[in-house]
């Protein structure tokens, strides 16, 4: 009897996890446990008991420099399949490449965990029922053990082991390799997308975000294809803006201030150069005494750029490609303001004001995401956003000499009285408005803009570059 009791205790002492862990591991993973489990469950249909411990173990193999597996004898039979899965995952070159980014980085490890679990689920989806059946059979057999005799106990243990072996055989090396390869590709896409949301940073460079926000962004980018496509387009626009700014010729900041005496050889007057040719001794004497005549150049003060106000039409007709292009151009323009340390504001409108926010510092990635997710619907009203632009400039002291970017895909009428009022306001406040009309003839827009770019329906990199050349 005592032998059966000891054997029974051994059965129930086996653990569901497969990687050796300590209190520090539990503390670290505890920061992300709830969100990771929640997000994975949202994606995975048909919950299986192996999932929660698999999440923990997957995080461990990404984070720990040298993760160690428990012996099979220490792991509950229905959870040994997790060990087989992770062994096969770790037996790929792709995993080792991915781990270079996640090792000792809890944020990237959490993001990689969400993505890999999702990809494993995709590859094993058609095996879930089989996994469930084997798991339930193991659990049923284990529940029979307390009432079993010595002979029955041994037979039941053998049956449990048989089902455990069958369960472990479900996952092949090919399945794991495909899942890891897909996970690496998506991980890189998510990393690039998060970097694209880091305003003020160099495109493609990592940004500092708290773990909670990073995981939330990763899940949003992974599950929302519209947002993902929009962020990828924003990244390309930011790169285009950067190359446009580099290509633009820079005016010299030095100007002629006076004629002075000294030893400035590179700024000599022509008469002094002539002296060197004909009267070399006199030239050498003047040089020694610091009496050579040269141009005195003075550095001009860098002209301060004004704040930026972006007014974007998000009416129903903008939905789709035009909306994505216009948002990417608008946010790339905002990034330009951030890098120049200029305050900026964003106004989205249709027949009403949909969104208004003034930024005095770089926006948080989730704030950029909020703008990206504003829908395009409704009619069009120009007067309301122009009034909002006036209100922002009037109420914010640091918004004098503002540059306004006004983007729309179609025109609407504005009362003449308001047009006169707005144009007088522009003159008084030294405000410049650049209009972008995606399609149509800008008859109305020309009445309140300093300059209008009519795109004739073209929304591509070339038209975006034309806009950026006006702004940099």
d(CA 205, CA 43): 29
* Residue at a domain's end among 299, 319, 351: 299
Distance in angstroms (rounded) separating the CA atoms of residues 113 and 342: 38
Q: State yes or no: pLDDT of 303 exceeds 60.
A: no
> What CATH number did the domain enclosing 400 receive?
3.40.50.410
Place of tokens 């069009």: 380
42 and 155 part of one domain? yes
The answer to whether residue 253 sits within a structural domain is no
Contact between residue 453 and residue 408 where contact means Cβ atoms under 8 Å apart: no
> Does one domain contain both 276 and 362?
no
What is the structure's pLDDT at 99?
93
Shared domain for 464 and 334, answered yes or no, is: yes
Instruction: Pick 406 or 222 by higher pLDDT.
Output: 406
Rounded distance, CA 330 to CA 312, Å?
A: 8
Q: Answer whether residue 252 is part of any domain.
A: no
Whether 127 and 266 map to the same domain: the answer is no
Domain count, the chain: 3
Asked whether residue 256 is assigned to any structural domain, the reply reads no
pLDDT at 253 over 70: no
**Any bridge partners for residue 297, and if so which?**
256
134 against 192, higher pLDDT: 134
The predicted structure's pLDDT at residue 3: 53
295 with 329, same domain: the answer is no
pLDDT score of 4 more than 70: no
Higher pLDDT, 431 or 233: 431
Q: Is the pLDDT of residue 246 over 70?
A: no
pLDDT interval class at 301 (50, 70, 90): very low
Q: Report the pLDDT value the prediction gives residue 298, as an integer from 0 to 100.
A: 63
The domain boundary, picked from 253, 276, 299, lies at: 299
| Residue predicted with more confidence, 388 or 24 | 388
Confidence check: pLDDT of 1 > 50 = no
69 & 165 share domain = yes
The answer to whether residues 294 and 173 belong to one domain is no
Listed residues 244, 278, 299: the one ending a domain: 299
Q: What is the pLDDT of residue 142?
A: 81
Same domain, 63 and 183: yes
365 vs 12, residue with greater confidence: 365
**pLDDT confidence of residue 174:** 92
In a domain? residue 363: yes
% of residues, the chain, pLDDT over 90: 36
pLDDT digits 0-9 by tens, 259-284: 777 777 767 777 777 777 777 777 77
pLDDT of residue 304: 54
Report pLDDT digits (tens) over 181-204.
999 998 888 887 777 777 655 544
Same domain, 94 and 164: yes
Q: Within this chain, do residues 294 and 369 fall inside the same structural domain, yes or no?
A: no
Which pLDDT belongs to residue 209?
A: 66
Asked whether residue 461 carries a pLDDT value surpassing 60, the answer given is yes
Residue 291 lies in a domain: yes
Question: What does residue 341 show for φ and ψ, rounded to 5 degrees?
Answer: 60, 40
Instruction: Tell me: pLDDT of 413 over 60.
Output: yes
pLDDT of residue 347: 97
User: The domain containing residue 169 runs over which residues?
Assistant: 2-198+210-223
pLDDT of residue 263: 76
Is residue 236, in this structure, part of any structural domain at all?
Answer: no
Given this model, what pLDDT does residue 349 score?
A: 96
Please report the pLDDT score of residue 288 as a whole number. 76
* CA separation for the pair 80, 165 (Å, rounded): 9
Instruction: Flag whether 447 is in a domain.
Output: yes
Same domain, 271 and 150: no
Residue 193 in any domain: the answer is yes
Nearest 10 degrees: Cα torsion 148, 149, 151, 156: 10
pLDDT at 47: 66
- Helical packing angle, 173-196 and 225-247, nearest 10°: 50
HSE-CB of 196 using CA atoms within 13 angstroms: 29
Average pLDDT on 158-174 reads 89
My answer on whether 314 and 295 are in the same domain is: no
Task: Quote the mean pLDDT of the chain.
Answer: 83
């Amino acid at each position: 009897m005592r032998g059966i009791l000891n054997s029974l205790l051994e059965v129930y002492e086996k653990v569901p996890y497969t990687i050796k862990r300590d209190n520090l591991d539990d503390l670290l993973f505890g920061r992300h446990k709830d969100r990771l489990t929640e997000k994975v469950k949202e994606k995975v249909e048909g919950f299986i008991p192996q999932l929660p411990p698999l999440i923990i173990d997957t995080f461990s193999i990404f984070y720990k420099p040298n993760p160690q597996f428990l012996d099979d004898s220490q792991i509950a039979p229905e959870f040994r399949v997790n060990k087989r899965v992770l062994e096969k995952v770790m037996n790929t070159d792709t995993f080792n490449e991915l781990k270079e980014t996640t090792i000792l980085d809890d944020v990237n490890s959490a993001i990689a965990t969400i993505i890999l679990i999702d990809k494993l689920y995709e590859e094993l989806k058609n095996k879930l029922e089989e996994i469930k059946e084997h798991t339930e059979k193991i659990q049923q057999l284990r529940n029979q053990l307390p009432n079993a005799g010595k002979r029955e106990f041994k037979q039941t243990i053998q049956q449990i082991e048989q089902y455990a072996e069958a369960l472990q055989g479900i996952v092949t090396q090919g399945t794991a390799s495909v899942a890891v390869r897909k996970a690496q590709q998506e991980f890189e896409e998510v990393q690039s997308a998060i970097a694209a949301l880091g305003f003020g940073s160099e495109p493609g460079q990592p940004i500092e975000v708290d773990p909670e926000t990073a995981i939330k962004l990763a899940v949003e980018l992974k599950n929302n294809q519209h947002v993902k496509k929009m962020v990828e387009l924003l990244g390309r626009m930011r790169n285009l803006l950067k190359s446009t700014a580099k290509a633009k010729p820079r005016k010299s900041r030095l100007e002629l201030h006076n004629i002075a005496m000294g030893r400035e050889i590179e700024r000599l007057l022509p008469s002094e150069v002539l002296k060197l040719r004909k009267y070399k001794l006199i030239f050498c004497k003047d040089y020694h005494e610091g009496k050579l005549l040269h141009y005195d150049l003075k550095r001009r003060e860098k002209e301060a750029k004004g704040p930026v106000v972006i007014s974007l039409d998000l009416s129903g007709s903008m939905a789709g490609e035009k909306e994505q292009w216009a948002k990417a151009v608008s946010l790339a323009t905002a990034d330009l303001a951030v890098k120049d340390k200029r305050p900026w504001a964003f106004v989205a409108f249709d027949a009403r004001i949909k969104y208004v926010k003034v930024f005095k510092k770089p926006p948080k990635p989730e704030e950029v995401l909020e703008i990206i997710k504003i829908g395009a619907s409704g009619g069009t009203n120009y007067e309301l956003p122009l009034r909002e632009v006036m209100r922002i400039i009037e109420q914010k002291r640091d918004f004098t000499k503002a540059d306004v970017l006004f983007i729309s895909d179609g025109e609407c009428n504005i009362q003449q009285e308001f047009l006169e009022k707005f144009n007088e306001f522009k003159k008084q406040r030294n405000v410049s408005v650049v209009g972008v009309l995606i399609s149509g003839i800008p008859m109305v827009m020309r009445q309140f803009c300093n300059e209008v770019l009519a795109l004739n329906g073209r929304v591509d990199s070339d038209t975006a570059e034309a806009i950026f050349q006006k702004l940099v």
